[in-house]
Structures are given as C-alpha cells and as structure tokens.
Chain A
Amino acid sequence: MRNSWVIAKNTIAQAVRMKVAAAVILLLLVLLPTMAWMLTGDGTLLGRLQSFSSYSISLVGFLLSVLTIAVSCYSLHSDLRTRTIDLVVTKPIVRYQIVLGKFLGAAGLNLFLLAGFSCMIYGLTTATPRFSKAPEDQIARARTEFFTARRVVAPQMSEEEISRRVEERIETLRKNRQLPDLPMSEIRATLWEQERIAQKSVEVAAVKEWDFQTVFPPKDPNSVLFVRYKFQATPEPPNQEVYGQWRVGDFRQFRTGLREYKTPVYGVERSESVRTLHTFTVPADATAADGAVTVGFFNSPERNFSTVIFDQMEVLYQVGGFGVNFFRVVLLMAIRLVFLAALGVSLSTWLSFPVAALFSLMVFFAGLINGFILESIEGLGAVLGLVYRFTIRWFLYAIPRFDGPYSPTDYLVSGEVLSWAFLGKAVLITLAVQMVLLLAIGIWIFSRREIAKITV
C-alpha cells in the first residue's frame, strides 16, 4: 500500500502539469461564481436556486469526469511511452501496486477537486437567499422546497391486481382462440402495459384514489405534505387545463363509516395545465399515525369532458436537512469519478491514450443516457432487436448508469432526499462489483505485460 501511495503522489504531480487540469480548474473557478450571479431561473428565489444548483452540479460533474478520464488514461500510458515505467518496475514494487497507485492518484486528485468545488457550490447556494433580497414568502418556499431533503413516496401499485387481470384476459383470449402468434412473454408485456394505463386513467365523473404507506412527516405543526403529479387528458381540453377536486387524508375513516374523524381530511380544488408537473401542499397531520394517507381525485363532470391519465403521482415529506443531502449528492458524484478513474487506468494498461480515452468517454456518455437507450431500443424490430440483444444491451448492463436516479442534480433541484440505502446500493454495484472487476482485469493485464516490448 505504501508503494501505491508513492505512485499515486507521483501521478498527481504528473496530472497537475497537464494542461487540461489547469483548464478545468480555471474554468470552474471563473464559471461557478458567474453562474451564481447570472442564472436567475424563473425569477423567483426557488427558481434561481434550482437553476444554479442544477447547472453548477452538472458542470462540475461533467468537467471532473472528463478530467478523470484524461488523467487516468494518460498517466500509465505516458509512463509506458516515455519508458519511465522501466525504472519503476525494476524497483521493489509489485505491478498491482503500480496500477493501484495510478488509480488512487487519478481518483484522489479528482475527489480533492470535487470536494473543493462542492464546498464552493454549497457556499454560493446557501448564500443566495441572503444576497438576492427575496421577499419573505419566497424565502419560506425555498426553505420548504429546496433547503430540505424530502422523501418521495410512490402510491401502492396493486401489482397483484394488474397480474390478476392480465391472466384473466389471457385466459379469455385462449378460450376464444384469439391469442396472437407471438411469444407468451410479449403478449403478457403488452397486456400488462394496457392494464397499467387503465389503472392510471380516471374517466369523467369517476374518482381515483391512491393509497400511500409509510408516510411519516415530522410531528411539527408547520410541517406539510406535498402532493406532486402530472397528467394528460383525452380528448385534449380546449384550454389545456383540467379542473380537479382533491381530497387528502386517511380515507379508511369514511370507508369504514366512522362519524368522527381522528385525522383531518383536506380538500383542494385547482384548475391546472396538462403535461406539467404540479405540486400542492396540505398540512402534514393528514397522515394517519401508522403512516397511511390517501389522495383522492374527482374528475368533475361539471367542468371536465376528458379522461384524465396520470403519468406521475407521489407524495413527499421532509426527512432531513439540506446539508447532509448535499453531502450525499456529492458522494454520488464521487462514485462516478472513482469508477471512471478505475476504467481509465484499467484500459490504459493495454490501450494507448487516445483509444482508452475515447472508449472511456463512450462509456461515460452511454452511462449518461443509459436508461434512455435501454428504453428506446427495447422497441426495435425483430432483426435489429436480436442484434441489439446480444451486443449493446450487454454493454449497457455492464456499465454503470449515470442518469435517472444516479443523476445527482435532480435530488437538489427538487429537494429530494438521496437515501443512504440508495447510495449504498450504488457503491455496491458500481464500486464493489464493476470497479473492482475493472481493476482486477487491468492488474491482470499489466502484470503479464512485457513492459519493454516496443510496438510500432
């Protein structure tokens, strides 16, 4: 380990002399304060905070990822090319220590920079309310929706219900000899999708209820419950708006016919545009003591003429503070950098700098749109689908995801908690499995490599 640290130190000394390192550092030092000043979002304090945190975290994440790739791919390759490695390997050092050292150096330098720039972003973010001279209500809103860590709870999807219906329909089709000539799994997937959409729809004059479990907002008279949703409507309403009558509370009380309610049920009425994310709040005491709460939506025939289809429905409540959440978001970014460092070093044990860097960038960008590709290629035709199934899909499964829940920005922008459990899962998959595997391969190759062999 001592040897690895010596190599790591040298790698850092080498990296800080790379022009790209100086460029990245300088760029961020200039851009971050400028962004804090210039990005105003929708003009409100919340909008300003959201756009700054989103852009600054993205920028730091992107530039440091590129720098990590550059350093990790360059260092070992440069040593091999200038043959300085000849001297190093003849010292009492084992080859794996060199690979580890290169990895530690590349990762260490970038983690150090990440720590520095994160502190800068944190400082700029928390200072924004004071310097923007925003009115009191905006500051209060920023406090509840940005400077917080909220847990997102999805409704209890009755998957069993869907499965039951799917099986029923398959049975009916079989009886009527109407089963299409397709693989069973495909039929099932199609039916499942249809049923799921049916579950999300609320016809005119109908009521839809979503049951939520394990909702435990803090026992504070000021604490609130956020209901967040997005819907579309068919046929499209003329003014693009849907009028909704909402109820939030423990519905079991009137389902069982109680006269007196132990917890209040709140009513909200709003007219809102389709295909946009909306949030309203109710006092947090709407939740029952056991953490159950139901959100009800009535598609009122007096004002609406369309079936409303909910694409998203969730409730949120505060579980922690901004600082700790910010720290976990930085850790999520750190995981990405550490993985990329391992990838670059591992590739550079047998590939030249340009090839290794190109491949690393490919993995990085594929990771950024991993979920998107997986979804979009899923619907390919038979032949293409077959090709894809044996190539790109394996590649995409093998590399880590940097998008969706692995994207650090969303947590901050929407003030959502990034749980330790999720972070642990990311560490386990990305670092303990994928990274360790990569490093092992790199070490295996480098240990067998004929160092002084010249390939022209």
Chain B
Amino acid sequence: MDSAGSSYAIETINLTKIFPDWWGRPKVKAVVDLNLKVRYNEIYGFLGPNGSGKTTTIKMLLNLLHPTKGHAFVLGGRSTDPAIAARIGYLPEESYLYRYLTARETLDFYGRIFGLPASVRKSRIDTLLEMVGLAGLGSRRIGTYSKGMMRRIGLAQALINDPDLLILDEPTSGMDPIGTRQIKDLLLELARRGKTILLCSHLLADVEDVCDRIGIMYGGKMQVEGPVRELLQHRDELQILTGPLPPKAREEIESVVRREGSWCKITTPVDKLETFFVNIITKAQETQPTSGAKPGTGIQGFLAAQPASPSRAVLEQLVAKKPQPVSESSADRAKTEPTEAVPPSAPKKELLEHLTEKPVEKTVSAEAQTEKPSEPPAVPKPAVRQDILEKLLGGRKGPDGSTEQTRLPDSEERRDAE
C-alpha cells in the first residue's frame, strides 16, 4: 500500500523497461513511461501489435522483470507480497507448465501453493477441469497435450485460487474458435462476479466482445485509451434491425428517413464466421458424438462448487441473475454435475439451490452495467449461446484453427439494443 491509492486494481507510474544489450547499453525500449490504470471490477483490454510491450508490462506487474524506471502496483500493493499474490490469477503468454505432471497434479500443485485445503482443491480441480473441457483427460501428462489443451489447463490454473484480479496474456492463442468463445463467456461471467481482468491480446475480436475499456500500445507507449463503446461508436449513424418486411413497408421507412434529411441503406445481416462455425459443429455433434471428454458445465459448474468463501455472496447474486427458462439446460446441469464433482460432503447443495432461485441485483460498476449483456433484452442470447457451448465443450480433443477473425453475433445486437 504505497503511494498508490486503492482505487485502482492495477496502477503503473511512469513504468519504463529498457532492455540493455550484452554490453549494458540500452537497446530495446520495450515500455516507455506507461501510466496504466485499471479500475476494480472492469475488463481492461490491453491491445497492441506483436512486440509493443504488453507482455513486458505484465511481467513488471508481477515482478518477473524489474522496471528500469517507475513503479507498478497491483491490488494496492506489490505482487511480491504473498497476501496480494494470493488474489491474482496469471496466465502467461505461453503455457509454462511442468510437462511431467498430469493436469490434475498441475492444478493440485498450484492449489497447494495457495494453501487451499485438500477438499477444496479436489472439488475445484474437478469443476475447473470440467469447465475447460478436459474432465476426462485429467490424468494425462501435460507434455502429451496439444497447445490449445495446455492453454486450457493454464487458464484453469489461473482460476484455482478464485482470484480477484486475472491477468491474461493472450489467453486465446492456440485455441479453437469454440475455446475462444468459451473464454470470452468465462470472462464476462467472472466480471459479473466482481473480478478485475487485464486482458492482453492482439486479436481485436477477442477484446471487442468483452472489454469495458481498452488501451492500445505501440512501441511501448500507450496510444489511445478509453471505453470500447465510446471509441467505436459512430455518433452520427443509427442502425435499425427488424424482422421480415414487405417491400412497401421498406419504401415507407426510406421515405420517412429521407423526409428527415438523412440517408438510409437497407441490407440483410450476414452471419459472422464464428457463428457459422459454431452452428456447423453443433449439428455435427448431434449426429456423430466425439469419443473425447464429456461436455463441460461451463462457468456455472465452477461457481456452484465454490465452497463458502468471502465471494460466496457475490456468486449467489451473480448466478441467480440467469433467467430460469432459457438457462434450463445449464441449470439442470448445475443441479447434477457439481454434486458429482464435489466429494460426498453436502454443504454445497444448499448453495446450489440458492443459485437457481434468488434473482438479486448485480453489484458491478456503472460502466460494466451498461456494457455487459445483462439487460433484460440481451439476456436470452448469452444463455442460448452457453447452451451450445456446453454441448461442444471438451468434446474436442484439441484446437484446430486460428481465431483471428471471430466475432460474436450478439455483441453487435447488444450495442444496437442500447
């Protein structure tokens, strides 16, 4: 708790990193006078092309690199403080995992360092493995995993301590579109639970869907920073989305618009490739089920299995926000699967009952509220999406494609709906 106030989850002051060459002369200015401020409870998109200094910044935040100049504060203190480190989840740029450990041993190893008791570790590992879609592969050595699978374990590892602050360095690299979609959903869900997320990426689509605010780095310097909506909004244009209309009605609309002195263009919306891909896979799965792991429970599983912890109240509120009818399937699963996952002890059952009943107001920041798909009209979409996801999750053995251009269909609608 140095000079940094506790009003920011992440704050850097003139953070600078200059890598010297072999002779000690300054060579690469990786980060220059960076003043990054990430508020509590927001998803911050940390963008920039390759080599712009994102990873270097993160490593300085986590004391993996020492700043040449300036300071980095995390959760109001230094990440070297174990009390603060205990509240951070970190997914490095690559999966730096012990190849000789199995997925389960890996999670157990980190769980132990966080000092989690055995029963908590076991139930969390079960739900996390389920969540990242590797439930059936928990006893395989990490060394035999594909890159995307390692990424998933890396993510599970970052969540083992139920962190308040998640620092994710290109979480979707090497992931298939389904995995990417899943991570985005997870991030939204976590943000609703009051977590702060620093999402570092060069895949703009990843960030656009989920981030509250973004900052764009180039050459180690912050180029532009602000709320996603403000940065992307066309202030002088409007979009109207309707169901099928007879030609006559269209003409009328056009004439009304022209009468107001504006211009008008009517087209048919085109699916994003991501939506298309997800739909194809869903259909394929109905006819030829894969021999891989069972479908994951998604975020609900993880939430439900959370033992009584400080964040329990938040969890209850958050999950209760899911409207009953649409999240039918996931609610069903929440009733059965988590209890399978946790050991015989029962206390979590009553928690589950809370989860599916009480609708409580959520407690995220004002900004997050306007951004997240939490308003009534937007709700059905994510729920349905999740349903699809859950069918797909873990049914796949590995990633098979880049996620460069994926973009969520409903994200547009969300913006439009506002």
Within the assembled complex, what's the spacing in Å between the Cα atoms of A6 and B118? Answer: 13
Using a CB-CB cutoff of 8 Å, which residues 88-135 of chain A contact chain B? Answer: 88-94
Task: Name the one of B62, B99, B113 contacting A6, with C-beta atoms under 8 angstroms.
Answer: B113
Contact of A87 with B157 in the complex, beta carbons under 8 Å: yes
Contact of B98 with A10 in the complex, beta carbons under 8 Å: yes
Within the assembled complex, what's the spacing in Å between the Cα atoms of A17 and B63? Answer: 31
Contact of B65 with A91 in the complex, beta carbons under 8 Å: no
Within the assembled complex, what's the spacing in Å between the Cα atoms of A403 and B55? Answer: 51
B114 within 8 A of A: yes
B385 within 8 A of A: no
Determine, out of A341-349, A366-374, A389-397, A447-455, the stretch whose residues face the partner at the interface: A447-455
Contact of B83 with A92 in the complex, beta carbons under 8 Å: yes
Contact of B65 with A87 in the complex, beta carbons under 8 Å: no
Task: Name the one of A6, A85, A90, A94 contacting B109, with C-beta atoms under 8 angstroms.
Answer: A6
A240 within 8 A of B: no
Contact mask B90-102 → A, CB, 8 Å, 1/0? Answer: 1010101111110
Please give the distance in Å from B381's CB to the nearest CB on chain A. 35
Contact of A450 with B66 in the complex, beta carbons under 8 Å: yes
Within the assembled complex, what's the spacing in Å between the Cα atoms of A87 and B92? Answer: 7
Using a CB-CB cutoff of 8 Å, which residues 43-89 of chain B contact chain A? Answer: 59, 62-66, 79, 82-83, 85-86, 88
Chain A hits for B90, CB < 8 A:
87, 90
Contact of A452 with B64 in the complex, beta carbons under 8 Å: yes
Task: Name the one of A3, A86, A92 contacting B64, with C-beta atoms under 8 angstroms.
Answer: A86
Within the assembled complex, what's the spacing in Å between the Cα atoms of A210 and B112? Answer: 65
Chain B hits for A87, CB < 8 A:
90, 92, 96-97, 110, 157
Chain A hits for B226, CB < 8 A:
none
Chain B hits for A91, CB < 8 A:
85-86, 110, 113-114
Chain A hits for B85, CB < 8 A:
90-93
B377 within 8 A of A: no
Contact of A90 with B96 in the complex, beta carbons under 8 Å: no
B5 within 8 A of A: no
Q: Which B-chain residue is minimally distant from A89 (CB atoms)?
A: B64
Contact of B62 with A90 in the complex, beta carbons under 8 Å: yes
Task: Name the one of A83, A93, A453 contacting B65, with C-beta atoms under 8 angstroms.
Answer: A453
Contact of B59 with A452 in the complex, beta carbons under 8 Å: yes
Chain B hits for A452, CB < 8 A:
59, 64-65
Within the assembled complex, what's the spacing in Å between the Cα atoms of A92 and B88? Answer: 9
Please give the distance in Å from B95's CB to the nearest CB on chain A. 9
Contact of B64 with A451 in the complex, beta carbons under 8 Å: yes
B115 within 8 A of A: yes
For the complex, count residues of A whose C-beta is within 8 A of B: 24
Contact of B100 with A13 in the complex, beta carbons under 8 Å: yes
Q: Which B-chain residue is minimally distant from A95 (CB atoms)?
A: B80
Contact of A83 with B100 in the complex, beta carbons under 8 Å: no
Please give the distance in Å from B263's CB to the nearest CB on chain A. 53
Within the assembled complex, what's the spacing in Å between the Cα atoms of A436 and B396? Answer: 51
Task: Name the one of B100, B101, B115 contacting A92, with C-beta atoms under 8 angstroms.
Answer: B115
Contact of A450 with B113 in the complex, beta carbons under 8 Å: no
Within the assembled complex, what's the spacing in Å between the Cα atoms of A330 and B101? Answer: 33
Please give the distance in Å from A79's CB to the nearest CB on chain B. 8
Main secondary structure of the interface of A (DSSP, over half): helix
For the complex, count residues of B whose C-beta is within 8 A of A: 29
Contact mask A11-22 → B, CB, 8 Å, 1/0? Answer: 001100100000
Check A88/B113 contact, CB under 8 A, given A94-B82, A452-B59, A452-B64: yes
Please give the distance in Å from A429's CB to the nearest CB on chain B. 34
Within the assembled complex, what's the spacing in Å between the Cα atoms of A84 and B109? Answer: 12
Q: Which B-chain residue is minimally distant from A6 (CB atoms)?
A: B112
Chain A hits for B88, CB < 8 A:
90
A2 within 8 A of B: yes
Please give the distance in Å from A215's CB to the nearest CB on chain B. 56
Within the assembled complex, what's the spacing in Å between the Cα atoms of A93 and B65? Answer: 17
Please give the distance in Å from B241's CB to the nearest CB on chain A. 45
Q: Which A-chain residue is minimally distant from B141 (CB atoms)?
A: A17
Contact mask B347-378 → A, CB, 8 Å, 1/0? Answer: 00000000000000000000000000000000
Q: Which B-chain residue is minimally distant from A88 (CB atoms)?
A: B113
Task: Name the one of B64, B96, B113, B114 contacting A84, with C-beta atoms under 8 angstroms.
Answer: B96
Within the assembled complex, what's the spacing in Å between the Cα atoms of A87 and B101? Answer: 14
Within the assembled complex, what's the spacing in Å between the Cα atoms of A87 and B114? Answer: 12
Chain B hits for A6, CB < 8 A:
109, 112-113
Q: Which B-chain residue is minimally distant from A16 (CB atoms)?
A: B100
Within the assembled complex, what's the spacing in Å between the Cα atoms of A13 and B59? Answer: 28
Contact of B92 with A86 in the complex, beta carbons under 8 Å: yes
Check A13/B101 contact, CB under 8 A, given A87-B90, A450-B66: yes
Contact of B86 with A84 in the complex, beta carbons under 8 Å: no
Chain A hits for B82, CB < 8 A:
92-94
Chain A hits for B110, CB < 8 A:
87, 91
Chain B hits for A10, CB < 8 A:
98, 101, 109
Check A3/B65 contact, CB under 8 A, given A82-B96, A86-B92, A86-B96: no
Within the assembled complex, what's the spacing in Å between the Cα atoms of A14 and B97? Answer: 12
Check A3/B113 contact, CB under 8 A, given A90-B85, A90-B90, A451-B64: yes
Within the assembled complex, what's the spacing in Å between the Cα atoms of A82 and B79? Answer: 22
15 new A-B contacts at CB < 8 Å, known A17-B100, A452-B64: A2-B112, A2-B115, A14-B100, A82-B96, A84-B97, A87-B92, A90-B88, A90-B90, A91-B86, A93-B85, A93-B113, A450-B66, A451-B63, A451-B65, A452-B59
Enumerate 28 A-B pairs (CB-CB under 8 Å) in ascending A order.
Answer: A2-B112, A6-B109, A13-B100, A13-B101, A13-B105, A14-B98, A14-B100, A82-B99, A83-B92, A83-B94, A83-B96, A85-B96, A86-B64, A86-B92, A86-B96, A87-B90, A87-B110, A88-B113, A89-B63, A90-B63, A90-B79, A91-B85, A91-B110, A91-B113, A92-B86, A93-B85, A94-B82, A452-B64
Q: Which 9 pairs from chain A and chain B are nearest by CB? A: A92-B82, A452-B64, A92-B86, A92-B85, A83-B96, A6-B112, A91-B113, A90-B62, A84-B96
Q: What is B's interface to A at a CB cutoff of 8 Å?
A: 59, 62-66, 79, 82-83, 85-86, 88, 90, 92, 94, 96-101, 105, 109-110, 112-115, 157
